């Protein structure tokens, strides 16, 4: 949490001025009862009209000055709090962009979303409240006590005792109920899960005649929830009666002491009224303080969760990024292998077994390579290593005679187009989506890419053609259309390496074939790697790699593999022969 | 609309009339004693006439009274709180229980047409809101109302003019507050719209980071984010600042009232109209008089909110429930007395089945089919032809519009659903598993199954080997939505679930698009095992698994267009042959 304070530095001035003005306002609030006491004592007893008018004016002026101070303070508090979180949000987003895909996956994108939204919002309101109240409330409480001592030392003692008692009651109720509220929340989560399952599994539940059991289960959890709520409610509803009790019993004592002191001339009636006023002020501020503390602890834990994301060190963004070689198209003899795998082994962080073992490969420009194998055989992992979505655990991956780690990562990726399994399109027009890959794409580039990916015809049939607006999550495109636009996005930047990671799965056989034919004809002649589960998709590749359990168990052309690779044969048979 | 919502809500509250009555009585007691306190204190102050003239005996008597009043206030306040809690949380509990029962009683026609997230939020968030509203309403509405009335009466009895000062000046704080609220509302709307925009952007970028990295889109994403962030912080600042003026402004008005009462009061004291004690009572009334008004206004917004939520809850409650028998089946035709475990042969037949979903086009237009006992039959057809619909109809998730469907000789519209579902095992595309252990999931259809039976079922459909590799074997808890299992593993568990039930008839929706070939082979084998000796109807999405079916129905344009086994259909060279050959293009 402390480290986050860097982001509020810019607002140092506001952070000091805000509470300061709050303090001023509190001073004026404290003076009011004294003025009133003077007005009553001197005005009434002295029968002095001029003092009444004078004091009356002072009261109005105090109110007005108080208002001005307070509004100024609110402004500074709001400015500091919002500037603070706005800075955090900006840096956090930037930071997340630097993390590697595997780091983001292990953090979980839904978690990151909550951190970026609700956690940050909580932090904002917590900071705002803290700046407004942390100085004001304790100051008023302390001030009221001190002033009560100036009125009468005995009364001062009573006040101090009351505050201690009030603080004990308020904070112990808070401490007892806070964990209970957490329990309520997790119980509510359970009820939510129950209802979600009742809906998502509605067909299965009915098909197995389990409706009554599901209802019973829900009712059980719901019952637990409401019992917890009632129990907690009972405790927290003690707060008001108890504070009322303490405050008013003190009042009785205060009056009794005041009566004694008045009898011997130590006190005036006005002072008693001032004392009563101070008591109400103290109670209000203590309750506010308790609220602020709850809000602040929440904000601090949110802050810690945010900090935890900042603490994740990006894998691929070392400090000496500037020293990296810029990858470029020139100065390379394309007769040499474009990509080489030298004894590459890769193991996911949490996994026991490596996903790839001792892979050796040489791939050349212009080649079309097929990769096939069952789920978990390591095909996707293999291709993910080339654009450095992950780094090899052992061995090295060479691109144009240099280890991929020596290149500037974004420059490296500019020369490759991985088209991923899941076709993700951004909301925006088709044109904007293609420009993600090549910001300066011309109309001709776009048409070329659309035609090659067999999307041109359906795009033209859409309203506005290339400027057709894709909705959030691309819900207004079919699975096959999404995939083809994603392919077009991969093609348009004319990369040296084109990687298709199971990216033809939503295409029917005919379209699949046409796309593959078009890719062979591409003018920029890239190294094309096609990962697929369909034999038909890879069967006409220059070379097919058959993966099994992290190893390449066969490589060669379709016909060769049918003859001498058992795994390939069994996949082929399950797909083709059975049909 | 609103009135009826209130009425329905009252029905839920009425069960707790006793607690409500106590709560109201306590509210009255509490307010009267609490308001009486300043008056008594004022009398005490008046007994302190001056140096040496303080009437200690009377003061003592008064203070004892004050203590009693304090105790009454405290006790009544606490009892009120406990009653309110009791009523609120019981009402929300009952609402939720009724809602879940409602879900299970709704026809799928309605459930499918609603967004399930929305339904869940009605059960959870809306009911919560109703609860919050009730709690606040109960605890503050009465109290505030009585406080306003009683304070007025108390003040009027002491002095009319000072009362007028309070009554005229206090509402100003009201106007100030609503004036500010209106101004800041605009900014709050802008803030939440921009927040939504930002969330959408984050939601688009972060879960898809692989794509972002693949195209080095990071900088552009940051640029877009910063632009939205800049706008957001502008709106946030204004919204927060404007709304934070409310407190100082109302406090200012309060201070004005306090000062005015003080000035007027002191003048009256000098003229001898009132005593100093009464002035102190007025000052504390003036200090507190704005509070009930502010409370009521917040209660009103909260209650409006709660009512809006309650109306969503009741809208849900009023969805039409499912009838046990199909439409148009009268009680004489219905066969209520078949025991749900009655033995059946296991034939399925459809005659001239017509069906369409709520507003969609006609899906089935007189489909005829018949599955003989022990036969393995398949339905194929182009996407969207209504293959899956047939499952919905046979399981009676939906009822057919006209025609008939028979299980043995029973017209399924005329028998209890439980009977049909008890005899038909179903495996769907959507591999739904419950949060719970693997064993619990397998025994879902037969909760009293022994562990041996469960293991046997798993073994017979090739699920045992992967289950044993899970961290806790059969006791491994499957997380929400089966997140820790692969698609193929989930499918195997779904098959085991049916295997354990040993139904006479099977309906399988075969979809294995996300499963790799080798696991698929396992699943196909499991399916084959499952179908041994059972009547089965497979909805086939791929054509590879049905070559050995006894009969294949080709569904197109709402009717069974072709029928026969694989070889017969190929020879016919019709739609089936066309579908089949397109795989090799």
Question: Over the stretch A408-430, which tens digit does the pLDDT of each residue have?
Answer: 887 888 888 888 877 788 888 99
Residue reference for tokens 């168990």: A553
Please name the member of A112, A191, A263 whose beta carbon is closest to the beta carbon of B51: A263
Give the homologous superfamily in CATH for domain B1-158+295-322: ABC transporter type 1, transmembrane domain (1.20.1560.10)
Look at residues A278, A310, A342 and tell me which one is the last residue of a structural domain. Answer: A310
Q: Is residue A55 part of a domain?
A: yes
Which residue in chain B is spatially nearest to A548 when comparing CA positions? B518
Per-residue pLDDT of chain B (585 residues; tens, 9 = 90+): 467 888 999 999 999 999 999 999 999 999 999 888 888 888 888 888 777 888 888 899 999 999 999 999 999 999 999 999 999 999 999 999 999 999 888 888 888 877 777 888 889 888 988 988 888 888 888 888 888 888 888 889 888 988 998 888 888 877 888 888 888 888 888 888 898 888 888 888 888 887 888 888 888 889 999 999 999 999 999 998 988 888 888 888 888 888 888 888 888 888 888 888 888 888 888 877 877 877 787 788 788 888 888 998 999 898 888 888 888 777 777 777 777 777 888 899 999 999 988 766 788 898 899 999 989 899 887 666 778 888 889 999 999 998 999 998 888 888 888 888 888 988 887 788 888 899 999 998 888 899 999 999 998 888 888 888 888 889 988 876 666 677 778 888 888 998 888 888 989 887 555 566 667 777 778 878 888 888 999 887 666 667 778 899 998 888 899 999 988 988 998 888 877 776 554
Please name the member of B70, B203, B444 whose beta carbon is closest to the beta carbon of A245: B70
Residue reference for tokens 């619990």: B440
Greater model confidence, A575 or A480? A480
CB atoms closer than 10 angstroms to residue A159: 25
Rounded Cα distance between A46 and A276, Å, is: 23
Look at residues A310, A338, A363 and tell me which one is the last residue of a structural domain. Answer: A310
Locate the DSSP E strands across A379-456: 394-399, 402-403, 416-419, 428-429
Q: What are the tokens at A493?
A: 């930047």
C-beta atoms of B75 and A241 within 8 A: yes
C-beta atoms of A101 and B97 within 8 A: no
> Residue B101: its chain A contacts at CB < 8 A?
215
Q: What are the tokens at B57?
A: 């005996």
| Residues B461/B531, Cβ–Cβ less than 8 Å | no
Which residue in chain A is spatially nearest to B235 when comparing CA positions? A82
> Residue A47: its chain B contacts at CB < 8 A?
270
> Residue B126: its chain A contacts at CB < 8 A?
none
Which phi and psi angles does B505 have, rounded to 5°? -125, 145
- Nearest Cα of chain B lies from the Cα of A233 at a distance, in angstroms, of 6
Which phi and psi angles does A521 have, rounded to 5°? -90, 0
- Nearest Cα of chain A lies from the Cα of B130 at a distance, in angstroms, of 14
- Nearest Cα of chain B lies from the Cα of A446 at a distance, in angstroms, of 16
- Nearest Cα of chain A lies from the Cα of B190 at a distance, in angstroms, of 15
Which site among A34, A42, A80, A93 would you substitute to test the B interface, given the most B Cβ atoms closer than 10 Å to its Cβ? A93
- Nearest Cα of chain A lies from the Cα of B289 at a distance, in angstroms, of 13
C-beta atoms of B56 and A205 within 8 A: no
- Nearest Cα of chain A lies from the Cα of B535 at a distance, in angstroms, of 17
Instruction: Tell me the angle at which helices A269-310 and B17-47 cross, rounded to the nearest 10 degrees.
Output: 130
The H or E element spanning position B170 is: helix B160-205
Q: Using DSSP, state whether B47 is helix, strand or coil.
A: helix
Which residue in chain B is spatially nearest to A579 when comparing CA positions? B544
Rounded Cα distance between A190 and A185, Å, is: 9
- The class that CATH gives domain B348-582 is alpha beta
Q: Phi-psi category of A47—alpha, beta or left, where left has phi over 0 and alpha has psi -120 to 50?
A: left
C-beta atoms of A374 and B241 within 8 A: no
**What per-residue confidence (pLDDT) applies to A182?**
86
**Of the given ranges (A45-54, A328-337, B397-406), which has the lowest mean pLDDT?**
A328-337
Model confidence at A319, pLDDT cuts 50, 70, 90, reads very low
Q: What are the tokens at B69?
A: 């009043």
C-beta atoms of B216 and A533 within 8 A: no
Are A274 and A407 in the same domain? no
- Nearest Cα of chain A lies from the Cα of B438 at a distance, in angstroms, of 16
Which phi and psi angles does B476 have, rounded to 5°? -65, 130
Question: At CA A298, angle to CA A77 and CA B239, rounded to 5?
Answer: 35
Which site among A99, A118, A130, A207 would you substitute to test the B interface, given the most B Cβ atoms closer than 10 Å to its Cβ? A207
Rounded Cα distance between B321 and B104, Å, is: 9
Domain total of chain A:
2
**What per-residue confidence (pLDDT) applies to A578?**
45
> Residue A413: its chain B contacts at CB < 8 A?
213-216
Are A411 and A525 in the same domain? yes
Question: Running DSSP on this structure, what letter comes out for residue B532?
Answer: T
Which phi and psi angles does A351 have, rounded to 5°? -80, 155
- Max CA distance (Å), chain B: 124
Judged against a pLDDT cut of 60, whether residue A327 lies above it is answered with: no
Are A84 and A38 in the same domain? yes
Q: Is residue A166 part of a domain?
A: no
CB atoms closer than 10 angstroms to residue B199: 15
CATH code of residue A112: 1.20.1560.10
C-beta atoms of A207 and B395 within 8 A: yes
Which residue in chain A is spatially nearest to B243 when comparing CA positions? A74
- Nearest Cα of chain B lies from the Cα of A515 at a distance, in angstroms, of 13
The reply to whether B198 touches chain A by the CB within 8 Å rule is yes
C-beta atoms of A202 and B108 within 8 A: yes
C-beta atoms of A97 and B101 within 8 A: no
Q: Is residue A211 part of a domain?
A: no
C-beta atoms of B241 and A78 within 8 A: yes
C-beta atoms of B103 and A89 within 8 A: no
Q: Using DSSP, state whether B190 is helix, strand or coil.
A: helix
Rounded Cα distance between A213 and A19, Å, is: 58
A501-515 mean pLDDT? 79
**In this structure, what is the dihedral angle of CA atoms B520, B522, B528, B529, given to the nearest 10 degrees?**
-150
Are A508 and A370 in the same domain? yes
Which phi and psi angles does B49 have, rounded to 5°? -70, -40
Paired residues of B336 in beta bridges: none
Paired residues of B348 in beta bridges: B371, B407
Are A403 and A507 in the same domain? yes
Are A388 and A506 in the same domain? yes
Look at residues A254, A287, A310 and tell me which one is the last residue of a structural domain. Answer: A310
Rounded Cα distance between A169 and B333, Å, is: 70
Rounded Cα distance between B229 and B215, Å, is: 23
* pTM confidence score: 0.73
Judged against a pLDDT cut of 60, whether residue A160 lies above it is answered with: yes
**CA neighbor of B81 nearest in space, from B143, B144, B139:** B139
Rounded Cα distance between B4 and B2, Å, is: 5
Rounded Cα distance between B470 and A199, Å, is: 28
Rounded Cα distance between B470 and B491, Å, is: 16
Q: How far is CA A137 from CA A81, A163, A501, in A?
A: 19, 13, 61
Are A325 and A306 in the same domain? no
- Window 140-169 of B: residues touching A by CB (8 A cutoff) are none
Pairing of strands B424-427, B436-437: unpaired
Rounded Cα distance between A163 and A278, Å, is: 12
The reply to whether B321 touches chain A by the CB within 8 Å rule is no
Are A343 and A289 in the same domain? no
Are A289 and A339 in the same domain? no
Rounded Cα distance between A283 and A246, Å, is: 10
The reply to whether B472 touches chain A by the CB within 8 Å rule is no
Rounded Cα distance between A469 and A475, Å, is: 11
CB atoms closer than 10 angstroms to residue A481: 21
Q: Is residue A240 part of a domain?
A: no
How many residues are there in chain B? 585
Q: What is the mean pLDDT of chain A?
A: 85
Rounded Cα distance between A176 and B124, Å, is: 25
Judged against a pLDDT cut of 60, whether residue A300 lies above it is answered with: yes
Rounded Cα distance between B489 and B493, Å, is: 6
Q: Using CB atoms within 10 A of its CB, is residue A547 exposed (0-12), middle (13-18) or buried (19+)?
A: buried
Q: Which residues contact A257 (CB under 8 A, 6 or more apart)?
A: A152, A154, A155, A158
Q: Using DSSP, state whether A248 is helix, strand or coil.
A: helix
**Of the given ranges (A157-171, A308-322, A515-529), which has the lowest mean pLDDT?**
A308-322
C-beta atoms of B240 and A86 within 8 A: no
Q: What are the tokens at B95?
A: 């609402």
Q: What are the tokens at A230?
A: 């009632």
Q: What are the tokens at A517?
A: 């034919």
Residue reference for tokens 């109960």: B138
Q: Phi-psi category of B5—alpha, beta or left, where left has phi over 0 and alpha has psi -120 to 50?
A: alpha
**What per-residue confidence (pLDDT) applies to B543?**
65
Q: What are the tokens at B283?
A: 């000052």
- Nearest Cα of chain B lies from the Cα of A196 at a distance, in angstroms, of 6
Residue reference for tokens 């590879």: B544
| Residues B499/B461, Cβ–Cβ less than 8 Å | yes
C-beta atoms of A276 and B212 within 8 A: no
**What per-residue confidence (pLDDT) applies to A223?**
95
Which tens digit of pLDDT belongs to each residue from A110-146? Answer: 788 888 888 898 899 889 888 888 778 888 898 999 9
CATH code of residue A544: 3.40.50.300
| Residues B177/B296, Cβ–Cβ less than 8 Å | no
The H or E element spanning position A298 is: helix A269-310
Paired residues of A373 in beta bridges: A547
Model confidence at A268, pLDDT cuts 50, 70, 90, reads confident
Structural domain boundaries enclosing A507: 321-415+495-577
Please name the member of B47, B78, B247 whose beta carbon is closest to the beta carbon of A238: B78
Size of interface A-B (CB pairs under 8 A): 405
Domain spans of chain B, in order of start: 1-158+295-322, 160-273, 348-582
- Nearest Cα of chain B lies from the Cα of A359 at a distance, in angstroms, of 22
Judged against a pLDDT cut of 70, whether residue A318 lies above it is answered with: no
The reply to whether B210 touches chain A by the CB within 8 Å rule is yes
**CA neighbor of B503 nearest in space, from B296, B340, B288:** B340
Pairing of strands B362-371, A416-419: unpaired
Percent of chain A with pLDDT over 90: 21
Question: Running DSSP on this structure, what letter comes out for residue A314?
Answer: P
Q: What are the tokens at B65?
A: 């009274």
**What per-residue confidence (pLDDT) applies to B251?**
83
Are A301 and A347 in the same domain? no
| Residues A529/A383, Cβ–Cβ less than 8 Å | yes
| Residues B494/B428, Cβ–Cβ less than 8 Å | yes
């Amino acid at each position: 949490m402390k480290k986050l304070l860097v982001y509020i530095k810019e607002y140092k001035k506001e952070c000091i001025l805000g509470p300061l003005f709050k303090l001023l306002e509190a001073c004026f609030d404290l003076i009011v009862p004294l003025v009133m006491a003077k007005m009553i004592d001197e005005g009434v007893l002295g029968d002095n009209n001029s003092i009444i008018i004078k004091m009356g004016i002072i009261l109005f002026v105090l109110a007005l000055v108080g208002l001005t101070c307070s509004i100024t303070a609110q402004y500074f508090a709001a400015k500091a709090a919002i500037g603070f979180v706005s800075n955090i949000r900006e840096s956090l987003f930037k930071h997340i962009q630097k993390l590697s895909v595997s780091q983001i996956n292990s953090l979980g994108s839904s978690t990151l979303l909550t951190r970026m939204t609700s956690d940050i919002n909580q932090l904002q309101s917590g900071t705002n409240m803290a700046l407004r109240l942390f100085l004001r409330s304790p100051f008023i409480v302390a001030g009221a006590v001190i002033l009560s001592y100036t009125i009468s030392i005995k009364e001062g003692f009573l006040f101090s005792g009351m505050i201690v008692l009030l603080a004990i009651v308020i904070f112990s109720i808070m401490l007892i109920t806070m964990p209970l509220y957490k329990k309520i929340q997790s119980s509510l989560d359970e009820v939510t899960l129950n209802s979600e399952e009742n809906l998502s599994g509605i067909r299965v539940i009915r098909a197995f005649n389990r409706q009554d059991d599901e209802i019973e289960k829900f009712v059980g959890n719901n019952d637990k929830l409401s019992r917890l709520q009632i129990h907690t409610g009972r405790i927290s509803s003690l707060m008001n009666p108890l504070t009322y009790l303490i405050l008013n019993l003190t009042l009785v004592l205060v009056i009794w002491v005041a009566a004694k002191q008045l009898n011997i001339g130590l006190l005036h009636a006005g002072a008693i009224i001032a004392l009563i006023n101070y008591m109400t002020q103290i109670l209000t501020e203590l309750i506010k303080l308790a609220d602020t503390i709850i809000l602040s602890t929440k904000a601090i834990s949110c802050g810690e969760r945010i900090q935890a994301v900042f603490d994740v060190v990006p894998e691929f963004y070392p400090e000496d990024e500037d020293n990296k070689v810029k990858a470029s198209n020139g100065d390379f003899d394309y007769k040499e292998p474009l990509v080489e795998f030298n004894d590459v082994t890769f193991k996911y962080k949490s996994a026991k077994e490596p996903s790839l073992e001792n892979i050796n490969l040489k791939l050349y420009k212009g080649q079309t390579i097929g990769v096939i194998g069952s789920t978990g055989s390591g095909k996707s992992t293999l291709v993910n290593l080339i654009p450095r979505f992950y780094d090899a655990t052992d061995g090295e991956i060479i691109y144009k005679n240099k280890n991929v780690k020596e290149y500037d990562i974004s420059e490296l990726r500019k020369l490759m187009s991985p088209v991923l399994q899941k076709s993700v399109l951004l909301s925006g027009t088709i044109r904007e989506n293609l420009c993600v890959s090549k910001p300066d794409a011309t109309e001709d580039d776009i048409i070329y890419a659309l035609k090659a990916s067999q999307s041109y015809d359906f795009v033209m049939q859409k309203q506005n053609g290339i400027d057709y607006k894709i909705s959030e999550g691309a819900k207004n495109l079919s699975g096959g259309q999404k995939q083809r636009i994603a392919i077009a996005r991969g093609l348009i930047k004319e990369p040296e390496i084109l990687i298709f990671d199971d990216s033809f799965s939503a295409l029917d056989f005919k379209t699949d074939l046409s796309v593959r034919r078009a890719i062979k004809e591409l003018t920029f002649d890239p190294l094309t790697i096609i990962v697929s589960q369909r034999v038909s998709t890879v069967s006409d590749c220059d070379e097919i790699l058959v993966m099994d359990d992290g190893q390449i168990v066969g490589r060669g052309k379709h016909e060769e593999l049918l003859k001498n690779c058992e795994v390939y044969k069994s996949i082929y048979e399950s797909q083709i022969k059975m049909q | 609309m609103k009135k009826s919502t209130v009425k329905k809500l009252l029905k839920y509250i009425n069960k707790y009339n006793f607690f409500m009555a106590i709560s109201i009585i306590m509210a009255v007691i509490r307010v009267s004693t609490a308001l009486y306190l300043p008056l008594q204190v004022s009398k005490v102050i008046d007994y302190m006439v001056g140096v040496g003239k303080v009437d200690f005996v009377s003061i003592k008597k008064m203070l004892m009274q004050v203590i009693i009043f304090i105790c009454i206030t405290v006790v009544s306040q606490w009892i009120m709180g406990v009653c309110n809690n009791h009523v609120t949380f019981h009402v929300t509990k009952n609402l939720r229980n009724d809602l879940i029962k409602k879900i299970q009683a709704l026809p799928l026609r309605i459930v499918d047409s609603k967004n399930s997230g929305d339904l869940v939020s009605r059960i959870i968030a809306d009911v919560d809101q109703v609860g919050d509203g009730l709690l606040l309403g109960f605890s503050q509405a009465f109290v505030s109302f009585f406080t306003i009335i009683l304070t007025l009466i108390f003040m009027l009895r002491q002095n009319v003019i000072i009362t007028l000062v309070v009554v005229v000046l206090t509402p100003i704080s009201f106007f100030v507050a609503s004036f500010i609220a209106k101004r800041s509302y605009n900014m709050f709307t802008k803030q939440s719209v921009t927040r939504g925009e930002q969330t959408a952007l984050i939601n688009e970028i972060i879960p898809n980071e692989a794509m972002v990295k693949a195209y080095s889109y990071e900088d552009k994403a940051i640029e877009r984010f910063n632009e939205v962030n800049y706008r957001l912080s502008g709106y946030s600042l204004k919204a927060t600042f404007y709304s934070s003026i409310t407190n100082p402004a109302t406090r200012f008005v309060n201070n004005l009232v306090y000062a005015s009462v003080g000035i007027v009061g002191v003048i009256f004291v000098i003229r001898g109209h009132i005593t100093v004690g009464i002035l102190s009572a007025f000052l504390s009334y003036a200090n507190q008089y704005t509070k009930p008004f502010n409370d009521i206004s917040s209660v009103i917004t909260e209650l409006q909110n709660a009512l809006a939520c309650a109306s969503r809850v009741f809208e849900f409650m009023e969805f039409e429930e499912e009838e046990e028998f199909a439409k148009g089946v009268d009680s004489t035709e219905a066969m209520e007395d078949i025991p749900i475990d009655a033995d059946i042969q296991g034939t399925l037949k459809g005659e001239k089945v017509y069906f369409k979903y709520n507003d969609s086009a006609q899906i089935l237009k007189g489909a005829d089919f018949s599955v003989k006992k022990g036969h393995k039959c398949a339905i194929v057809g182009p996407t969207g032809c209504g293959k899956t619909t047939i499952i919905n109809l046979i399981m009676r998730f939906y009822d057919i519009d006209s025609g008939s469907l028979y299980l043995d000789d029973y017209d399924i519209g005329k028998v209890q659903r439980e009977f049909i579902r008890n005899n038909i095992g179903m495996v769907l595309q959507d591999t739904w598993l419950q949060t719970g252990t693997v064993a619990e999931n397998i025994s879902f259809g037969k909760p009293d199954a022994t562990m041996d039976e469960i293991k046997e079922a798993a073994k017979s459909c090739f699920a045992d080997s992967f289950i044993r590799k899970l961290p806790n074997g059969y006791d491994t808890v499957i997380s929400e939505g089966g997140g820790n299992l692969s698609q193929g593993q989930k499918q195997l568990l779904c098959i085991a679930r049916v295997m354990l039930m040993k139904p006479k008839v099977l309906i399988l929706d075969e979809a294995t698009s996300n499963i790799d070939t080798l696991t698929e082979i396992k699943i196909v084998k499991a399916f084959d095992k499952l179908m041994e000796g059972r009547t089965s109807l497979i909805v086939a999405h791929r054509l590879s698994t049905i070559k050995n079916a006894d009969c294949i129905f080709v569904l197109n344009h709402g009717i069974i267009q072709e029928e026969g086994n694989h070889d017969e259909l190929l020879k016919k060279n019709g739609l089936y042959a066309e579908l089949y050959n397109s795989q090799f293009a």
